[in-house]
Amino acid sequence: MKLMRIGPVGLEKPAVLATDDSYLDLSDVVTDFDEAFFGGGGIERIRPIVAERLAGGAATLPIGEQRVGAPFARPHQILCIGLNYRDHAAETGQAVPEEPILFTKSPNTLIGPNDDVRIPRGSTKPDWEVELGIVIGARASYLDSVEEAAGVIAGYCVVNDVSERAFQLERSGQWSKGKSAETFNPAGPWLVTPDEVPDVLALDMWLDVSGTRRQTGSTSTMIFDPFVIVQYLSQFLVLEPGDLINTGTPPGVGMGFTPPIWLRPGDVMELGIQGLGRQRQSVLAPR
């Protein structure tokens, strides 16, 4: 299934993608795709309902010009893995990590896949990062194996880990201050359940800025795969249903060019991952 949420900010309705341009409204059976939904076995609960309705010719609705929100509600935490592609580590001049590098983003950075991204005040080096997102489907701690880790993954999605490099690297402290500005985590358009992702380590990834291809990569070049990441993180913190994990980006980020290329107001970012959909964001000036 491809879970999605349709509607204005704060009023999104839960749905599943029916065809490329239509959806099945599930708001009569699901309140939201949130912690209670994922933690309560919601995905397996709605499977037969969705199958029965689609097989029975239930009315679907056109997506049209409606806003597509993030495919899940604001999580407890957004956890991020840095330098998880060898060629990205090389372009930033940093060593390949021996263990996953963990940082966090503020959960209120989450926006829809086509919502505007706003450059923060004082920004001089705003950057882009197409990434594979993992959404957790069950409370998890001290997982014993990668097989256990696979069992707590609710699905995968496209994320744009928007970053402000001057805040991140030149203002001391942790990376989070360069990652947590408002609008800095577009997600979606869908949350794709694992059964529809035959090989999560063979997904092409791409990102364009104002019509110019900047990132081209594949999940096949990850240093730490999604199952290793989930199992690893569970040794240090409790993963809650609905939590989001951003798993790193391939090469082609703005800071990796010579000279660097930074986002500017008026730019348009378009990005996607094979089988998980695509996004489009306009870049706005600071407030």
* The last residue of a domain, from among 68, 88, 105: 68
Q: Could you give the CA distance from residue 51 to residue 87 in angstroms, rounded to a whole number?
A: 42
Q: Are residues 147 and 18 in the same domain?
A: no
Dig out the tokens for 251 from the structure: 């090469």
For every residue of 143-205, which 3-state class applies, written as one string?
A: CCCHHHHHCCEEEEEEEECCEEHHHHHHCCCCHHHHCCCCCCEEECCCEECHHHCCCCCCCEE
Mean local confidence (pLDDT), 172-187 = 94
Per-residue pLDDT tens digits for 32-57: 999 999 999 999 999 999 999 999 99
**pLDDT exceeds 80 at position 91:** no
Domain of residue 191: give its range.
Answer: 69-284
**pLDDT exceeds 80 at position 225:** yes
* The last residue of a domain, from among 68, 90, 118: 68
What integer pLDDT is reported at residue 62 of this predicted model? 98
Q: Are residues 86 and 173 in the same domain?
A: yes
Per-residue pLDDT tens digits for 4-26: 999 999 999 999 999 999 999 99
Asked if 16 and 49 touch (Cβ cutoff 8 Å), the reply is no
Q: Are residues 116 and 18 in the same domain?
A: no
pTM of the model: 0.97
* Contacts of the segment 170-175: beta carbons below 8 A, 24+ positions apart: 174/103, 175/82, 175/103
Residue among 71, 106, 78 at smallest CA distance from 233: 78
pLDDT, averaged across the chain:
96
Q: Are residues 139 and 198 in the same domain?
A: yes
Q: Are residues 98 and 113 in the same domain?
A: yes
Q: How confident is the model at residue 89 (pLDDT cuts 50, 70, 90)?
A: confident
Asked if 2 and 17 touch (Cβ cutoff 8 Å), the reply is yes
Q: Are residues 38 and 99 in the same domain?
A: no
Q: What are phi and psi of 153, to 5 degrees?
A: -90, 120
> Structurally, how many domains does the chain consist of?
2
Q: How confident is the model at residue 201 (pLDDT cuts 50, 70, 90)?
A: very high
**pLDDT exceeds 80 at position 284:** yes
Q: Are residues 112 and 131 in the same domain?
A: yes
Q: Could you give the CA distance from residue 32 to residue 22 in angstroms, rounded to a whole number?
A: 19
Q: Are residues 49 and 182 in the same domain?
A: no
Q: Could you give the CA distance from residue 8 to residue 282 in angstroms, rounded to a whole number?
A: 17
DSSP characters over 219-242 = GGGBSS-HHHHHHHHTTTSPBPTT
Dig out the tokens for 52 from the structure: 């029965």
* The last residue of a domain, from among 13, 45, 68: 68
CB atoms within 10 A of CB 286: 12
Q: Are residues 275 and 256 in the same domain?
A: yes
Q: Are residues 80 and 44 in the same domain?
A: no
Q: Are residues 23 and 88 in the same domain?
A: no
Specify the CATH number for the domain of residue 264.
3.90.850.10
Per-residue pLDDT tens digits for 114-129: 999 999 999 999 999 9
Q: Are residues 246 and 180 in the same domain?
A: yes
